[in-house]
Amino acid sequence: MPKNTLPVRGNTSFEESKKQNEHGAEYWSARELQPQLGYTQWRRFEEAINRAMISCGQSGNNPDYHFAGAGKMIELGKGGIRKVDDYHLSRFACYLIAQNGDPRKPEIAEAQKYFAIQARRQEISDALAADMERLELRKQTSEEFKALSGAAREAGVQDRMFGIFHDAGYKGLYGGLGNEVIKQRKGIPKKEQLMDRMDTTELAANQFRMTQTRDKLARDRVNSQQHAIRTHEEVGKEVREAIKRIGGVMPEKIPAAEHISKVEKRIKSTSPLLELDEKDTKGLIGEE
């Protein structure tokens, strides 16, 4: 067996392998944690540790408080011993290692549960919060679009008429404007999807339109293509009237937003800060 390879040992609990340092702080030995997390090679596990150290810094926490270099004596064959690299890891460090580990390993999933850190809050800027809200709403609207298409099919709309069916909803909500006219008015290229350029308010209005149309098709037991198309347009008009009554901006007057793909990319490249409870923040230095 290669010297940097160890058998996976899954019968030792994380609680049993926990230690306490001279500051009274809990810690785990990386060498002992390695097999518990399903890693047979130290090199692979050390890569996960290095990723976790980077994440620690990006989260606004000091890696020195959570990852301490150390040495560990291991037994060799014929009674020999050798010193190998090791790390003393705080609970937060173990949590980050699990988060940056191989998600296919069941041991990683267990570690994520055990080492879960209770953060007081995740500090994200207002702009990032808005981005996340818009991206989530875009995903929900996409799912609602698929659900509405299924409901339309059940109501008798043929596949070749789906464009007309969905356009009817837009015309109701946008004062008679269909998909392509709306894009032209907002300066959106033909090849782009209209919903990818909607802001949060516009997405919410369209999601509500689709949800209500789907419910009405089922509630009224619509079973003809023309009836389904009329229903969609009528619901769109009702949503438009509701926006008027509350003094909202008409959807056709809302400028095109940044493409959703750019928003998603920005979210992925942003590391929100994580403010830990005082005990977890101090990590390996304990109460001192």
Residue whose pair of structure tokens reads 């340092």 in the numeric block: 21
Both 93 and 223 in one domain: the answer is: no
pLDDT tier at 126, thresholds 50, 70, 90: confident
Residue 159 phi, psi dihedral angles, 5° rounding: -55, -40
Structure tokens belonging to residue 281: 């923040």
Both 177 and 238 in one domain: the answer is: yes
Both 130 and 254 in one domain: the answer is: yes
Average pLDDT, the chain: 87
Find all residues with CB under 8 Å of 276, minimum gap 6, and list them: 61, 92, 117, 119, 120
pLDDT tier at 1, thresholds 50, 70, 90: very low
Specify the long-range contacts of residues 45-52, CB closer than 8 Å, at least 24 apart: 46/85, 48/97, 48/100, 48/101, 48/102, 49/87, 49/89, 49/93, 49/97, 51/100, 52/93, 52/96, 52/97, 52/99, 52/100
Three-state SS letters, the chain: CCCCECCCCCCCCCCCCCEECCCCCEEEEHHHHHHHCCCCEHHHHHHHHHHHHHHHHHCCCCHHHCEEEEEEEEECHHHCEEEEEEEEECHHHHHHHHHCCCCCCHHHHHHHHHCCCCEEEEECCHHHHHHHHHHHHHHHHHHHHHHHHHHHHHCCCCHHHHHHHHHHHHHHHCCCCCHHHHHHHHCCCCCCCHHHHCCHHHHHHHHHHHHHHHHHHHHCCCCCHHHHHHHHHHHHHHHHHHHHHCCCCCHHHCCCCCCHHHHHHHHHCCCCEEEECHHHHHHHHCCC
Model confidence over 228-272: pLDDT tens digits?
Answer: 999 999 999 999 999 999 999 999 999 999 999 999 999 888 766
pLDDT above 60 (res 212): yes
pLDDT above 80 (res 79): no
Output the pLDDT for position 107: 87
Q: Is residue 6 part of a domain?
A: no
Structural domain count of the chain: 2
Q: Could you list the residue range(s) of the whole structural domain that residue 108 is in?
A: 19-124+273-285
Structure tokens belonging to residue 284: 């390996």
Q: Which residues lie across from 232 on neighbouring strands?
A: none
Both 105 and 48 in one domain: the answer is: yes
Both 264 and 146 in one domain: the answer is: yes
Q: Is residue 114 part of a domain?
A: yes
Both 109 and 143 in one domain: the answer is: no
Both 98 and 81 in one domain: the answer is: yes
Both 179 and 88 in one domain: the answer is: no
Name the more confident of 60 and 70.
60
Both 65 and 101 in one domain: the answer is: yes
Q: Is residue 119 part of a domain?
A: yes
Name the more confident of 137 and 71.
137
The answer to whether residues 53 and 67 touch, using CB atoms and an 8 Å cutoff, is yes
Segment of 7-11, 120-124, 190-194, 278-282 carrying the highest mean pLDDT: 190-194
Output the pLDDT for position 9: 39
pLDDT tier at 278, thresholds 50, 70, 90: confident
Both 132 and 258 in one domain: the answer is: yes
Model confidence over 156-167: pLDDT tens digits?
Answer: 999 999 999 999
Q: Is residue 229 part of a domain?
A: yes
Q: Is residue 11 part of a domain?
A: no
Output the pLDDT for position 73: 54
Both 56 and 87 in one domain: the answer is: yes
Both 158 and 50 in one domain: the answer is: no
